[in-house]
Amino acid sequence: MKLYTDLNQKLTPEQLALKEETHRFAREVLRPASVELDKLSPEEVIAEGSVYWDVWRQARQIGLHKQGLPEHLGGVTLDPVSSHIVTEELGWGSVDFAVGFGAGSMPFTFALLTGNERLINEVAIPFAEDTEGKLIGCWAITEPAHGSDVIMAMESGGRFRYDTKAFLDGDEWVIRGQKSAWVSNGTVATHALTFVNIDAGDGESGTGICVVPLDLPGISRGKPLNKLGQRALNQGEIFFDDVRIRRDYMMFRPDAEAEQASPVGEMILAAANSGMGVIFLGLARAAFEEALAYCKDRVQGGKPICEHQLVQKRLFEMFTKVELARAYTRAVREYNRAIFPPQAQYSVAAKVYCTQMAFEVASDAIQLFGGYGLSKEMVIEKLFRDARAAMIEDGSNEVLSLTAARSLIERYPT
């Protein structure tokens, strides 16, 4: 099947080549591996010798993790449209791996933001040089008692008290607490971008953001989560039992909260929600394409079902949703790349709309497949399950909507 017709007629030859190369990786590597892993138990997915590890290795070998890294580390800075193209194709192939890749880079890219040479040398540079998929990150933020409320606090730049705590002991931070079973890459990650509540003992308190190598004494993990969809996205608990990290591994501290907390929160929310929107645009496109191909082949009433008017109407509605989602998510990427701090409400709108849209398109596709759509032998059945999770992960759509609504009330010109 040919790639979709892009309405942007100004794509460069390099962008077109990037689209085709990423789609080839998604079609030949991500999609088959994701389908294979979907049939396994969570423990089997990440077992030694699993194709799961082959995917991480191949992604590193083609340099996916270097996109966005500085040139002196071998990185490539992609323009907003190019990064959108890559993300959509990854989502088309496998939303589970696409989300895992995104979370997998977070501790390392945040280490670069600090400008701390020692931290960069110990954390960021080895990641940039990794060609085997040996270094995988995770975002340790949600806790058993804290989920979507974290998102609301981040957007407002307000103080938030995590149950996972850190306190100073000489030149080390000591971390104590637990992160929930929803940490993406949680049971396989080598490093965690960890959000903690700081109590420095000198009146300093509030949110701290640190990098924690997950091979340190005091780290333990729960079982990988057994869940409905996105089964190639490993998720699980992380426990911190008086884990000690060097003082400079705490990258953002409350003493700089007034200057840093709100921009950092906006940056994280804008990037994460934009990424989720584009990834699930990719899934919606995959579901539409599966349905279209099936409707051309399936014969009922003496002709292919795509010749029936009700089927045609449903296919057109699916197509329209996908095209509108692409146009909006690209516009958001371009806008938020051009300003600082980015405006998270636009990214939140992208995430909420695209994940809901992906679920609707996948559901419509199953309806067009009829009984066959319920069979686990069909890719569309997996796409439907994968889409359902997206309306909850990275903040439930309801809470994200309320969070963005507050921004609209405060900022929208009247």
Bridge partners of 138, per DSSP, are 192
3-state helix, strand, coil in the chain (%, to 5): 60, 15, 30
CATH placement of domain 259-411: 1.20.140.10
Bridge partners of 177, per DSSP, are 240
| Residue 44 Cα to chain centre, angstroms | 22
- Asked whether the beta carbons of 286 and 383 are under 8 A apart, the reply is yes
> Please, what's the b/e burial string for 70-96 (b: 16 or more CB within 10 A of its CB; e: otherwise)?
eeeeebeebebbbbbbbbbbbbbbbbb
| Residue 144 Cα to chain centre, angstroms | 20
In a 3-state reduction of DSSP, which class is residue 170?
A: coil
- Residue 353: other Cβ atoms inside 10 A: 19
- Asked whether the beta carbons of 166 and 175 are under 8 A apart, the reply is yes
Give the list of residues 6+ apart from residue 99 with CB closer than 8 angstroms, or none. 184, 230, 233, 276, 279, 393
Give the separation between CA 379 and CA 385, rounded to whole angstroms. 10
Q: Phi/psi of residue 319, each to 5°?
A: -60, -45
pTM above 0.85, yes or no: yes
Give the separation between CA 85 and CA 285, rounded to whole angstroms. 13
**Residue 239: per-residue pLDDT:** 98
**What is the CA angle 405-331-412, rounded to 5?**
30
**Residue 258: per-residue pLDDT:** 44
Give the separation between CA 22 and CA 28, rounded to whole angstroms. 10
CATH placement of domain 137-258: 2.40.110.10
How do 250-252 and 137-140 pair as beta strands? Answer: unpaired
CATH number 1.10.10.10 given to 13-129: no
**Residue 411: per-residue pLDDT:** 83
**What is the CA angle 135-117-155, rounded to 5?**
70
Give the separation between CA 345 and CA 339, rounded to whole angstroms. 14
- Asked whether the beta carbons of 218 and 241 are under 8 A apart, the reply is yes
Q: What is the residue extent of each domain of the chain?
A: 13-129, 137-258, 259-411
Per-residue model confidence as pLDDT tens for the chain (414 residues) = 678 999 999 999 999 999 999 999 999 999 999 999 999 999 999 999 999 999 999 999 999 999 989 998 999 899 999 999 999 999 999 999 999 999 999 999 999 988 889 999 999 999 999 999 999 999 999 999 988 888 777 766 556 789 999 999 999 999 999 999 999 999 999 999 999 999 766 555 688 999 999 999 999 999 999 999 999 999 999 999 999 999 999 988 765 544 445 567 778 889 999 999 999 999 999 999 999 999 999 999 999 999 999 999 999 999 999 999 999 999 999 999 999 889 999 999 999 999 999 999 999 999 999 999 999 999 999 999 999 999 999 999 999 999 899 888 988 888
C-alpha distances (whole Å) from 408 to each of 256, 342, 355, 377, 411 are: 26, 14, 21, 44, 5
Retrieve residue 405's tokens. Answer: 């609504």
